[in-house]
Amino acid sequence: MTDHIYLTSEKLSVDEITQLVSAPDCGAVSLFVGSTRDSFEGRVVKQLEYEAYTPMAEAEMRNICAMLREKWRIKHIAVFHRLGVVPVMEASVIIAVSSEHRTDSLEAVSFAINALKSSVPIWKKEIYEEGVAEWKENKECKWRRSSSLTT
């Protein structure tokens, strides 16, 4: 049983991350891939930029892995998140979980992305076509304020 936690400015690979969690005794590998979309609320998005407090983010990602192991019978976990610039159609986050049966891995992946968005200190800035940038808050985030910050 292995937990792979990684914050990187490099492009994420679904194939490589899938290989990290694959195992001969697992009949299921479930994935969540979150990518940069080209629009938000009618505005054209050029790219996203992510920042994190890395030591705290990695510690919280490890806590999420521990929670998954308490709730489900799973083998391997990978939680990868991009930092820096993420262009449209590239992955910002990939979560992969393997298990003997699909229900455990599917439920664990869903829980993991929701937990990540609510508790891991990673911040997202949307850069729009007209050059305006806005820091965005996750509605699930524990420390959420009532409005987003504008730069």
Residue 142 labeled ligand binder: no
Residue 11 labeled ligand binder: no
Residue 117 labeled ligand binder: yes
Residue 71 labeled ligand binder: no
User: What number of other Cβ atoms are within 10 A of residue 3's Cβ?
Assistant: 16
Residue 125 labeled ligand binder: yes
Residue 43 labeled ligand binder: no
147/142 Cα distance (integer angstroms): 14
Q: Do 21 and 76 contact (CB within 8 A), yes or no?
A: yes
73/107 Cα distance (integer angstroms): 11
Long-range CB contacts for residues 35-43, cutoff 8 Å, separation at least 24: 35/89, 35/90, 35/91, 35/92, 36/86, 36/87, 36/88, 36/89, 36/90, 36/92, 37/88, 38/88, 38/89, 40/126, 43/128, 43/129
50/30 Cα distance (integer angstroms): 24
Q: Which residues sit in the known binding site? A: 101-102, 117, 124-126
Q: Which residues sit in the known binding site for substrate? A: 101-102, 117, 124-126
